[in-house]
Structure 1
Amino acid sequence: MKRKNGRKPPLPYTASPLRLLCADILLVLRSLWCLPGIILPLSSSDELDELFPSTENTFNVIAHVVLALCQVAFLLSVVGGFLCMVPALWISIYVVVFVWINRAICALVFNNTDEVLESRVPIEERPEHERECWVFINGVAVGRHWLQNNIDRLAYTFGRKIIGVHNPTDGIVFDVIECLIQRNFTFATPDTRDGYAITKATLLNPKYEKVVLILHSQGGIEGSLIIDWLLDELPENVLRKLEVYTFGNAANHFNNPYKSFLGYGEPPATDSTISEQDASVQAERSVLHIEHYVNAFDFVCVWGVLQFARVPNRYMGRIFVRSGSGHQLNQHYLDTMFTLGPDRRVLDTNEFMEMGARTVEYEKILPKHVRHERNEVLVTNKRPSDGYRTTPASQRGQGDQYERRPLKVKDLSRLWQYRNGGSPVDG
């Protein structure tokens, strides 16, 4: 069945895993046009950036390039072995030996770390932060060094201690293969189970009133599985403590079903800028707040969030699509969306947050549609519905008059309100 635009929709994520895998392999191959979007632009301004010219970063990049070349050569040799009718036993031994050596090298070079890390940078936490728990799951090709930089950058950005669940790398090519296996076979790796255990335990801990899950790249796939499990196991009043924010999401679905308030008293407070009707819709969701931040020409986003968000009710949460490229969390997402000043505090404004927000339907979030003006950001769902924000003029000393101005990204981004240790209006 085709949609109105003539494009065949993606298979349901509950379809045959083998069919899903074949479709995903073709999708990745069709998306190779934006492969440079993983690392471009190369410009780096902060020592925490992944491509900052430091000794450790340079070593990591060289190691990943060498591994990627070896892995591509290995895959081609396996295909060649089948075509040349090499005995299956020999091919099997060859595959096992190569994968074992690759795993050993990655463990030595990238993954020599504990499964769970904590941010180490000095921050001034507020008393109310003791009732919050922030958990981060990293993406593709991230070893210990880059994970530590990620959670340290997040700690600077949001003024809170960050727990990092390490999704270990096996090299870029093998990581992409693992992504396809994870999202098509709902395969839960040990780090996915660790992330689930930590998230569930903190949600059930009465000490915490809020649990924030931040996901990047492949971490989005693991996060989608974690949310599926939590939806199955936890009651609504517990799930409402959870908030989810993703960057460069590689998942093929993101669930957040409607649920009733019966038995749970009054719904939680919502942002003061949201209409009653929109607030009601938001409050009926199991997880009250989900946001996805996307670079339009990020290779992973093209075969991830941008591909699947167009399917109705498949990718829940508000999606922000920036007209740009880059997949690295610190360098291409946080530096552009949550820019730090010399004092390691997020600046009060930046180009991304000041951009106009153009509301579009989910089905318009497609790679061929994201070439919008560079001074605007595509935003899904219709809150506020008219595309304008009403600001009390009394805030500007003009009595009871009101001013209507076009919405900017900062008006819609809940995550923006957490910068520098702050909290959203609803607490």
Structure 2
Amino acid sequence: MVVAFPMEGGNRRKLPLAYTDSPLKLLWADIHLVLKSLWSLPGILQPLTPQNSDELDEFYPSKVNVITLLVQLCLSFCQIAFLLSVLACFFFMVPALWIFLYVVAFVWVNRILCHLMFNTPDGILKSKAAIEERPEHKRERWIFINGVGVGHIWLQNSIDRLAYIFGRKIIGVHNPTDGVVFDIIECLIQRNFTFATPDTRDGYAITKETLLNPKYEKVVLILHSQGGIEGSLIIDWLLAELSQDILRKLEVYTFGNAANHFNNPFKSSLGIVQPSIRGSESPERNGPVQDDKSVLHIEHYVNAQDFVCVWGVLHFANVPSRYMGRIFVRPGSGHQLNQHYLDAMFTLGPDKKVHETNAFMEMKPKIVAYEKIRPKRTRVAKDEVLVTSERPSDDLNRLAVENQHNRTPLKVKHLSRLWQYRNGGSPLDDSK
């Protein structure tokens, strides 16, 4: 089933710090949050099977994948040991100069190893999948930013997988890896200090340049994991610099989002949720507005037991006006883009075309209050998907009435705009 609920409204529980608060306070809160979320750590890797996309899946037993996993595992152990040893140096009052030299040497060796094994000087890749683009697709540009622990080989696999799904060429902006542990530390720095890495700036430059190019009528930004943090910064910059008519070209879709916010302000005061005078949990709205947001379409896809989601999107989703866009919470775990998200939500057949049905897209809706989207307290049955929507003019009720009239149950595929792009298709409103 699918669950739909509003994003705004009264909330009596203690809310997370504002993302504009003191960076040191945010960092301390994030460290505490990571430790509280360790119960879901196995959710990054599980399930190990099946691998519906064969060699494109992260855990497919190919030579490259096995070497990648072994090196990342060794790096993780070494980095954890390094961090503990640095703490020990301070405890035993080792001279600061020696600590500094030790840290610089370890980070330098780690960076060189990751450069040789995973990263490439060319930070921009293009999909190589054999697809036939439709003529109208030349007016679109699709951009992808990867997440934690991804080298250039896995990035290539990801953009090829996306190209097969959507029948479009995909540009991949490489978020290079320094090992999983160091990548997670970088995530904390990025989202608490609004720190923009070079790949974040590359993604911003490409996205802005494309939006301003009259050749393109649509820009689709797809983000995974740490890429969600970078994407949230990119959107903040775009909202500050570009006009509303330019931003209407942009659509954003995320998987396993690690960001602590996702902005998308109302274009006017109409439709903004006003708190009830008596402080009740039922919000009052000024009135519906069909195109009420700067970016018209944002969707987030989440696995309920994904560790990254637990301390990312799931922790911040129910804060009023904090995490804009429709959120789909799927039962189960797994954080890898191809194996745990795309294989389940956009299942490919032997011909590299998306099946017209799969278990996720066929699930039915069930409406619940947004407060139930909380890590650990979020209970998702095997046959239901939680779906949020913050737009006052959202079409959930209309779709439910229409489907009931046609005696067709409302399903995830009726709510997912991204699903309509499969196999080179486009949403109906784009054909006008």
* Same fold per superposition (TM over 0.5): yes
The partner residue of 1:177 within 172, 185, 188 is 185
Cα distance between partner residues in 2 of 1:353 and 1:279: 31
Question: Are 2:342 and 1:338 aligned?
Answer: no
For residues 85-114 of structure 1, the C-alpha deviation after alignment (integer angstroms, 9 at most, x for no partner) is 111111111111111110110000000351
The partner residue of 1:425 within 389, 412, 428 is 428
1:140 is matched with which residue?
A: 148
1:247 is matched with which residue?
A: 255
Question: Are 2:40 and 1:29 aligned?
Answer: no
Cα distance between partner residues in 2 of 1:99 and 1:420: 44
SS at match of 1:183: helix
SS at match of 2:366: strand
The runs of at least 4 consecutive aligned structure 1 residues that moved more than 3 Å come to 3-7, 277-282, 359-362, 382-388, 390-393
Q: Report the alpha carbon displacement of residue 356 of structure 1 after superposing the two structures with TM.
A: 1.2
Within 5 Å, which residues of 2 pair with 1:18-417?
18-43=24-49, 44-45=51-52, 46-260=54-268, 281-381=289-389, 383-386=394-397, 389-391=400-402, 402-417=405-420
CA contact (8 A) 1:308 1:315 kept: yes
Q: 1:96 to 1:282 in 2, by over 3 A?
A: farther
Cα distance between partner residues in 2 of 1:281 and 1:95: 54
Cα distance between partner residues in 2 of 1:406 and 1:86: 67
For residues 172-227 of structure 1, the C-alpha deviation after alignment (integer angstroms, 9 at most, x for no partner) is 00000000000000000000000000000000000000000000000000000000
SS at match of 2:429: coil
2:280 is matched with which residue?
A: none
State the structure with bigger RCO (CA 8 A, min sep 6), 1 or 2. 2
Q: Report the alpha carbon displacement of residue 284 of structure 1 after superposing the two structures with TM.
A: 1.6
CA contact (8 A) 2:403 2:410 kept: no
Partner AA of 1:68 in structure 2: S
CA contact (8 A) 2:44 2:307 kept: yes
Cα distance between partner residues in 2 of 1:19 and 1:209: 41
Cα distance between partner residues in 2 of 1:93 and 1:36: 35
Partner AA of 1:41 in structure 2: P
Partner AA of 1:8 in structure 2: K
For residues 126-145 of structure 1, the C-alpha deviation after alignment (integer angstroms, 9 at most, x for no partner) is 01000000000000000010
Q: Report the alpha carbon displacement of residue 390 of structure 1 after superposing the two structures with TM.
A: 4.2
Cα distance between partner residues in 2 of 1:324 and 1:139: 20
Cα distance between partner residues in 1 of 2:164 and 2:286: 32
CA contact (8 A) 1:165 1:194 kept: yes
**Which piece of structure 1 moves more, 330-339 or 363-372?**
363-372
Cα distance between partner residues in 1 of 2:108 and 2:12: 45
2:277 is matched with which residue?
A: none
Gapped runs of 5+ residues in structure 2?
Answer: 1-8, 271-284
Q: 1:279 to 1:160 in 2, by over 3 A?
A: farther
Cα distance between partner residues in 2 of 1:69 and 1:260: 51
CA contact (8 A) 2:11 2:371 kept: no
SS at match of 1:319: strand
CA contact (8 A) 1:102 1:170 kept: yes
* Cα RMSD, aligned residues only: 2.1
Q: 1:373 to 1:100 in 2, by over 3 A?
A: same
Q: 1:261 to 1:424 in 2, by over 3 A?
A: farther
CA contact (8 A) 2:403 2:409 kept: no
Q: Report the alpha carbon displacement of residue 63 of structure 1 after superposing the two structures with TM.
A: 0.4
SS at match of 1:426: helix
Cα distance between partner residues in 2 of 1:279 and 1:107: 54
